[in-house]
Amino acid sequence: MRSARQVSLVSFASAFLRSRAGFAAALLGGALLFAPLGWPEDDLRPGARRPDTPSLQPLPPLLSAVGVPRAAPCDPAAGATRPRPATSPQSWVLTEDYPLISLFRNETGRTGFALRIAPDGAVMRCDRLSGSGSPWLDGAACAALMRRARFTPAMDGRGCPIGGTYRNAVIWQIPQATAGPN
């Protein structure tokens, strides 16, 4: 019985390879198999052969046969580092991000947040940990962070990039008006 994840992986791989490379993909006994278009789907099995093409092999044994070791999965528990900001956190929330309604209402505060960082360093999600007392300030904080924050991903003990979390806070203070020329 195939799991939903296996079926969606095979569907994605098959559609991608069919459109880009002229190949079809199928899952057989946990191995992902590839064949040129034109093969009947039920012929996608190890040893199935057409006279004009080489024999078909499952991908993992094929990689092992040419000496490519299987990569061990990344392990977040094995001596992981934390994600590090790739840009200055002070550049993530700017004066122009201050909501106009909060300026008119003289709202200030501190918005605590947690950013979920993907293995590629992209920000996937912003969660509010503590509120400033203003929904506009809290919403503006996450909007600006999602737009501008960039990270070097966390690494496990082997140097494999993994997801992680970055926690900090935005301090909202009414910007001071600058004096014009006298």
From the list 131, 48, 123, the residue with the least C-alpha distance to 87 is 123
Tokens representing 92?
A: 């993530």
pLDDT over 50 (residue 6): yes
- 43 burial type by CB count under 10 A (0-12 exposed, 13-18 middle, 19+ buried): middle
Encoded tokens for 55: 């024999």
Question: How does pLDDT run across 31-89, given as a tens digit for each residue?
Answer: 555 555 554 444 444 555 544 544 444 455 555 555 555 556 666 566 678 899 999 99
Phi, psi at 116, each rounded to 5°: -90, 120
More confident: 127 or 46:
127
Distance, CA of 164 to CA of 151 (rounded, Å): 10
74-126 residue pLDDT tens:
665 666 788 999 999 999 999 999 999 999 999 999 999 999 999 999 999 99
pLDDT score, position 143: 96
Rounded CA-CA distance 4/8 in Å is: 6
* Radius of gyration from C-alpha coordinates of the chain: 26
Structural domain harbouring 151 = 84-172
> How far is 129 from 113, CA to CA, in rounded Å?
5
Indicate whether 79 belongs to any domain: no
The answer to whether residue 120 is domain-embedded is yes
**81 or 1, higher pLDDT:** 81
Q: Would 58 be classed as within a structural domain?
A: yes
Q: What's the structural domain count of the chain?
A: 2
Of 5-14, 23-32, 67-76, 166-175, highest mean pLDDT:
166-175
Question: How many whole angstroms from its chain centre is CA 86?
Answer: 16
**Residue 178 domain-assigned?**
no
**Stated pTM of the model:** 0.56
> Of 37, 65, 93, which residue constitutes the final position of a domain?
65
Residue 141 has pLDDT above 80, yes or no: yes
What is d(CA 163, CA 82) in angstroms, rounded to the nearest whole number?
Answer: 9
Give me the pLDDT at residue 35, please: 58
User: CA 104, CA 106: separation in Å to the nearest integer?
Assistant: 6
The pLDDT score that the predictor gives to residue 69 is 56
